[in-house]
Amino acid sequence: MSKQPNSIKRQRPLEGLRVVEFTHMVMGPTCGLVLADLGAEVIKVEPVDGDRTRHLLGSGAGFFPMFNRGKKSIAIDLHQPEGAAVARRLAASADVVTENFKPGTMKKYGLDYESLSRQNERLIYVSCKGFLPGPYEHRTALDEVVQMMGGLAYMTGRPGDPLRAGTSVNDIMGGMFGAIGALGALVQRGITGRGQEVQSALFENNVFLVGQHMMQYAITGQPAAPMPDRISAWAVYDVFTVKDGEQIFLAAVSDAQWRTFCDVLGFSDLRDRPDYATNNDRVRARPTLLALLRERLSTRSAADLAALFEQAGLPFAPIRKPEELYDDEHLRVTGGLAEVTLTDGARAGQTAQTTLLPFTMDGQRLGAGTQPPAMGRDTDALLAAVGCTPAEIAALRAAHAVA
């Protein structure tokens, strides 16, 4: 087993960069997570009663430890003038400020780009929003909202039954695009010496995701059908129910793969049929071809099919649940999971494994950085670093402006 990447000491590309984030939920924290894993010092500004994702139930239970690892935490009440003032002092020390509040919120506290950039022309300011500026910008957006209005839920569900994707795709990718914009702005600042505002948005991210289906319509004149009812580009590209009710995804996406598919499964009669000669021929015959394959494969075990397809270099996949990935051999051997210590809820103080950014640098995964922070863990140290005296910190705490 390879050495865990978070135990390897090496300089990360953004070390020395300070990010102050005023974010909540998933989109904004994802932007900060990417920058933190790349080595930036990311300071999470929380309300004095803590980020509410610390205590979410159900599908939100993993939000805080997943998207806030590697960060410092300072708890500030922005509603109080003293709190907003100390937040501005902290923001003035930053290379990058990120936020994902409703339009106009940050301006109330003097924490908008226009206000902060007057004091620091090198500042890069990342706003993660529901919509880019335009007719929709004041609407309240959620991942589900933009999936419904942006065509993704239509494409995911069955006809007449729109269905959101099974994870927070727009929140996560919207935060990633915010981070990409920040990295581009950092490169440009190195050339011009000036910062800029970067905006990323859920709706526009969703539109980018379905852009391939929009282009399909532009080229063919035919509306894209929902995925369960689509006209597939490949004939063999589906989930098959096999022996004992197990399921496995099998594919053959080229004529060469089709021939190999038939060879390894002993389907020589199908291999040589002229009406199955090319991929497009097989797509036209897909309903009858798939029915035939389903019947022939129903007595084969998923494990045997996986072994055959792996040996032959054909695409295949077991159908797994998220919790089963903790036992995935590839993730374990390659160091794709890292332990973090939980800070909130019934499991506070216990460890859990989290996923890492899906790329390597210099041949290695980046690791998970520091642990998710306890609420306000770094308040005193960060205030002292921006010039607050012990007496000033005590006064702020007495006024409940910080925690």
Residues noted as catalytic:
171
For the record, the structure tokens of 245 come out as 């009710």
Judged by DSSP in three states, 124 sits in: strand
Q: Look-up: residue for tokens 């410092």?
A: 72
User: By CB neighbour count within 10 A (0-12 exposed, 13-18 middle, 19+ buried), where does 191 fall?
Assistant: exposed
Asked whether the CA dihedral 188, 193, 199, 200 is positive or negative, the reply is positive
Q: Look-up: residue for tokens 């300070």?
A: 18
Helix axes 202-209, 169-192, angle to 10 degrees: 100
213 neighbors 153 (Cβ within 8 angstroms): no
239-244: long-range pairs with CB below 8 Å, 24+: 239/319, 240/293, 240/294, 240/297, 241/294, 241/298, 242/297, 242/298, 242/299, 242/300, 242/301, 242/302, 242/305, 243/298, 243/299, 243/300, 243/301, 243/302, 244/301
For the record, the structure tokens of 298 come out as 């129903």
For the record, the structure tokens of 253 come out as 């996406």
Compute CA 135 distance to the chain's CA centroid, rounded to the nearest angstrom. Answer: 27
309 neighbors 315 (Cβ within 8 angstroms): yes
For the record, the structure tokens of 28 come out as 């904004």
Compute CA 269 distance to the chain's CA centroid, rounded to the nearest angstrom. Answer: 45
Dist CA 295 CA 301 (whole Å): 13
For residue 195, the 8-state DSSP code is -
State the greatest distance between any 2 C-alpha atoms of the chain, in Å, as a whole number.
Answer: 86
Asked whether the CA dihedral 315, 316, 322, 325 is positive or negative, the reply is negative
